[in-house]
A and B are shown apart, each in its own frame.
Chain A
Amino acid sequence: MTAPPDDCLARNEWICGEYLSTRRQILLDAVVQHLQLTAVSVLVGLVIAVPLAVLARRWGWAAGPVLAVTTILYTIPSLAMFSLLLPVYGLSATLVVSGLVLYSLTLLVRNILAGLRAVPEETRQAARGMGYGPIRLLLTVELPLAVPASMAGLRIATVSAVSLVTVGAIVGFGGLGNLIYAGMNTYFKAQVLTASVLCVVIAVAADLLLLAVQRLITPWTRAARG
């Protein structure tokens, strides 16, 4: 029998280079799953949120109920949300995505609606005076002007989604959360710390990426300030 290796894995240290090199594939798979779950949920949330916000803006009476429902959805803790969806989707990635869509939806609808409401009435009237129809007004004036507020919501929604994906570990689809969950059960310190740090890195990277995108698509906000 050979003696057990005396490396940082055997000593169960928090920071361990050996862990990074031997478990590279596992980490990579977890990161990919984490990114996929986050991206799909935020994108689906965005696709649903934009029409909802536009409708709530068009018909004032719809704004109250839409905001009330999203507030209630946002109040429900993530673990409970995933659990409530269990009978519908079973133990699947769809369950995690649906739960995250509901949370992103809340943040996005509120911010897009705030952005649309902040479009100055004079701007709208000027566009109408120039002969813009309602559709063209919405697509070329109102929505672009609502971009900064919407992007703020999108950034918050994305960062929250990155963090909430980890709770998906309860159904086995939690990206890096799976590694944290497994690491907790085996007291594997290096795995828990590495996965946690990667989560934060993904969140910060996504936030910076969206900030860069926002600067690219709204050049006028910088011109006005400078």
Chain B
Amino acid sequence: MNTLTGAWDWLGDPAHWSGDDGVWHRLAQHLVLTVVCLVISCLIALPVALVLGHLGKGGALAVNISNIGRAVPTFAVLVLLLLTPLGKWGEGPTVVALVLFAVPPLLTNAYVGMREVDRSVVRSARGMGMTGRQMLFHVELPLSLPMVMNGVRIAAVQLVATATIAALAGGGGLGRIITAGFNLASTPQVVAGAILVAVFALIVEGIFEIAERLAPRCARGIR
């Protein structure tokens, strides 16, 4: 209980919220890293997954890439990138590592979603004379949207977690409050930072949960 009140006091001190090491600045860094990397990963992964899913090719790769992503430790990749020439370029290693770990869930979910679209619906679309492009955008994509969005949600949560670990390798973000706490041997600061990170992650998860509930019925999928 002592540590919790300590953490509470740490969070209550306005001095800890301002400045370059302050909570607001770290929160902004974390948010920018997450959003920017989510957009980059979506731009890379979704077109590839949608085209592969539409053509029905490259399935083994698209499905197995998630397993590969899980086996490779994020911390190891962050440190490896830091020691390459890329490491001199500020947040470079963090951005690359974040994108690398957000792409697999996006790719796998979007691909599986595309392949799970009822084949008879796809065939009737073809029978109606739809072109490949029309089928992709008017039939397959809308029907696979719930799975695609599930992938985006998993990727977003993964990004928040990886961005936190990036602090161990010198990256910015809320994780820095935790690592600084460890360096100062200040348990209250460590716990305060952890609470901030956990709340941030739960808010991100919550936003997707609410978006899913508010989405029109057709986009929600039948589960």
A9 within 8 A of B: no
At the interface, yes or no: A79 with Cβ under 8 Å from chain B?
yes
State whether B160 touches A86 (Cβ < 8 A): no
Q: Does B67 contact A159, Cβ atoms closer than 8 Å?
A: yes
**A97 touches B (CB below 8 Å):** no
Given A77-B160, A83-B178, A204-B71: A167 and B165 interface contact (C-beta under 8 Å): yes
Contact among B67, B72, B77, B194 for A83, CB-based, below 8 A? B194
Beta-carbon contact of A80 and B201 below 8 Å: yes
Stretch at the interface among A40-48, A57-65, A185-193, A212-220: A185-193
B191 is an interface residue with CB less than 8 A from chain A: yes
B168 touches A181 (CB 8 A): yes
Assuming the contacts A75-B205, A86-B191, asked whether A166 and B70 have C-beta atoms less than 8 A apart, the reply is no
Residues of the B chain whose Cβ atoms lie less than 8 Å from the Cβ of A145? none
- Minimum CB–CB distance for B183 against chain A, Å: 10
Which residues of B49-102 are within 8 A (CB) of A? 67, 70-77, 79-80, 82-83
Q: Contact at B194–A80, with CB atoms within 8 Å?
A: yes
Please, how many residues of chain B have a CB less than 8 angstroms from a CB on the other chain? 40
Q: Which residues of B contact A139 (CB under 8 A)?
A: none
Q: Does B109 contact A (CB under 8 A)?
A: no
Segment touching B, from A18-26, A112-120, A195-203? A195-203
Tell me the complex Cα distance, A177–B157, Å.
22
Within 8 A of A (CB), among B161-216: 161, 164-165, 167-169, 175, 178-179, 181-182, 187, 190-191, 193-195, 197-198, 201-202, 205
At the interface, yes or no: B4 with Cβ under 8 Å from chain A?
yes
- List the interface of chain B (C-beta within 8 A of A): 2-4, 67, 70-77, 79-80, 82-83, 157, 160-161, 164-165, 167-169, 175, 178-179, 181-182, 187, 190-191, 193-195, 197-198, 201-202, 205
A residues apposed to B, CB below 8 Å: 71-72, 75-81, 83-84, 86-87, 156, 159-160, 162-164, 166-167, 169-171, 177, 180-181, 183-184, 187, 189, 192-193, 195-196, 199-200, 203-204, 207
